[in-house]
Chain A
Amino acid sequence: MSVNAVEAIGVERRFGNVQALAGVDLEVEKGEFFGLLGPNGAGKTTLISILAGLVRADRGSVRILGHDVGADYRAARRALGVVPQELVFDPFFSVRETLRIQSGYFGLRHNDAWIDELLHHLDLTGKADANMRSLSGGMKRRVLVGQALVHKPPVIVLDEPTAGVDVELRQSLWAFIRKLNRDGHTIILTTHYLEEAEALCGRIAMMKSGRIVALDSTQNLLSRFAGVTVRVSAARLPADWTARLLRREGTIHYLGLGDYAELERLLAAFRTEGIAIDELALAETDLEQVFLRIMAGTETTDDTRPVVTVPEAL
């Protein structure tokens, strides 16, 4: 039996009164490009911190490539590369020194061939001897990516890696991460850019209030919630339709519909109640709509078969 890249069983963690993780089970197979999504405070960073050994779980166990993050921390940490969310750096050193030092911490000396390759892929070759302080935010972010990859970890965790990185560099960064994934590295990604997750991740877990509320392949998630999203601008919604609201921005309402037949019933309701529609547009379901529908759903205890309040027609 092949060992999983990441295996979390019954992971719980509480900070004071906040139950940051309320029993998380998760398996990520080797070679996956896996997305971990959820609103702020859902527990994504806590989960990642437990994988990395920065935070300890109150209950449950976590293994990286079969190595327990507590009992066998050396092997677990060697297998893992983490790009932290915070933009941190050591102001005493240059980019190359930073990467050499990080490499040395993992017991790797004379790693310059790989460091040069990293610098090239991260478009930092010209900045190799520049002090960390002199770099822009986007460059510092790329050095963080380099530090996470310097020991060629088989499992790579990226916690919001593209925050503050401009669009062009984001593309080249993703091209590089994709290449690493093709070369066999397992990638675990958290991001606020849902279109990135949709484009990159083969499988996605959605977290809410310390639990995994949806876990499926990106395709299945999209098709499970296949339907129509209506963007309608009106003073208010017909009374029977307010439960279908996904999101509201002033007088603009986003509604999730099962199919086009429902659209006719919606329009009829507007007519019956005499509400004027200023503007109306349709959109295909994308990951953002799926995300919003799941996050609008009720609490669930089963992480593989989420109980989500969705229209009956779905």
Chain B
Amino acid sequence: MIEGPGTGWLTLLQKELLRFWKVSFQTIAAPVLTALLYLLIFSHVLESRVAVFDGRVAYTSFLIPGLVMMSVLQNAFANASSSLIQSKITGNLIFVLLPPLSPLDMYAAYVLGAMVRGLVVGTGVFLVTLLLVPGPLSIAHPLFALAFAVLGSAILGTLGVIAGISADKFDELAAFQNFLIMPLTFLSGVFYSIHSLPPFWQALSHFNPFFYMIDGFRYGFFGLSDVAPVLSLALVAAAAVILAALALLMLARGWKLRH
């Protein structure tokens, strides 16, 4: 029996990873297939009709980083939120609440678990879509791409923690997902460059935080973006810090977890 500080949160992280790994067909294979279907359909219909970045990038190539990032974000959110709501509703969250885990321990474990799920699915989508890309796909600034993927998954993992704690029913979580996460992702420029939008919608897109994640991630591939990548990075990092502080505050207060 070895007692070590820090093994508590590592165990919770390990549990979070095991949880989705045991049902990987549903948690990894399914979202990869969904992204692949999006790619097949949209690229088939739009490849010859839509010009992005003034025709400097083929539409299918443009779409791939968008789909990768969308998969990262959605799966990071799904992992943390579904784990928490399931544990709350079945009551087994008590196993996490009884041990000497600090709010930071819990936050780190749930968010890192979510990030791993998001990044694994994103990598899967990337590898599968590579088979379909017309010609070699450049990665102009891999570190930028990585930074946005990591920060984006952390933000959505954190949102998943916040939603999982706030929701009392699956219904409420589904509302969070369908009325907030999904529209923000779909309207963030996954499928199009916002420069192709009318001015009003273009301006509105700048208030969508997801837009900066997708745009910055795409910059990592093509070296081209709708807004300056450093600005996107700063905004995304700030959002990550603010949301993390909120989630940590909720955990420290025990809001909806400890009465």
- Interface residues in chain A, defined as those with a beta carbon under 8 Å from any beta carbon in chain B: 15, 49, 52-56, 73-75, 77-78, 80, 82, 84, 86, 88-93, 97, 101-111, 113-114, 147, 151
Contact = CB atoms under 8 A, between A and B. Distances in A.
A86 B19 CA distance: 22
A56 B258 contact: yes
Given A108-B3, A109-B4, 18 more contacts: A15-B259, A53-B98, A53-B258, A54-B259, A56-B254, A56-B259, A77-B98, A84-B91, A89-B92, A101-B14, A104-B8, A104-B11, A104-B12, A105-B96, A109-B1, A111-B1, A113-B1, A151-B99
A14 B19 CA distance: 37
Interface residues of B, number: 33
Nearest to B257: A54
Interface in B192-245: none
The secondary-structure label for the interface of chain A is mixed
22 contacts: A15-B259, A49-B259, A52-B98, A77-B98, A80-B98, A84-B94, A86-B94, A90-B87, A90-B90, A97-B18, A101-B14, A102-B99, A104-B10, A105-B12, A105-B96, A107-B4, A108-B3, A109-B2, A109-B7, A110-B1, A111-B1, A147-B95
Contacts of A73: 100
B2 A108 contact: yes
Nearest to A100: B11
B258 A55 contact: yes
Nearest to A102: B95
Contacts of A101: 11, 14-15, 95
Contacts of A54: 94, 97-98, 258-259
Given A105-B12, A107-B3, A114-B1, A74 B94 contact: no
A81 to B, nearest CB: 8
Nearest to B12: A105
B100 A77 contact: yes
Contacts of B19: 92
Nearest to A87: B91
B47 to A, nearest CB: 42
B138 interface: no
A82 B102 CA distance: 18
Contacts of B100: 73-75, 77-78, 106-107
Contacts of B90: 88-91
Nearest to A84: B94
Nearest to B7: A107
B109 to A, nearest CB: 10
Given A77-B99, A78-B100, A92-B22, A105 B258 contact: no
Given A105-B12, A106-B8, A107-B3, A88 B91 contact: yes
A53 B92 contact: no
A111 B4 CA distance: 12
Given A55-B258, A55-B259, A105 B4 contact: no
A90 B92 contact: yes
Contacts of A104: 7-8, 10-12, 14
Contacts of B1: 108-111, 113-114
Nearest to A132: B92
B259 A92 contact: no
A56 B94 CA distance: 15
Contact of A105 (B3, B22, B23, B95): B95
Contacts of B18: 92-93, 97
Nearest to B90: A88
Contacts of B135: none
A52 B95 CA distance: 11
B101 A105 contact: yes
Nearest to B97: A54
A105 to B, nearest CB: 4
A143 B9 CA distance: 22
A139 to B, nearest CB: 16
Contacts of A108: 1-3, 7
B55 interface: no
B5 interface: yes
B12 to A, nearest CB: 7
Contacts of A77: 98-100
B192 to A, nearest CB: 39
Nearest to A89: B92
Nearest to B11: A104
A147 B254 CA distance: 22
B77 to A, nearest CB: 19
B244 to A, nearest CB: 22
A109 B6 CA distance: 11
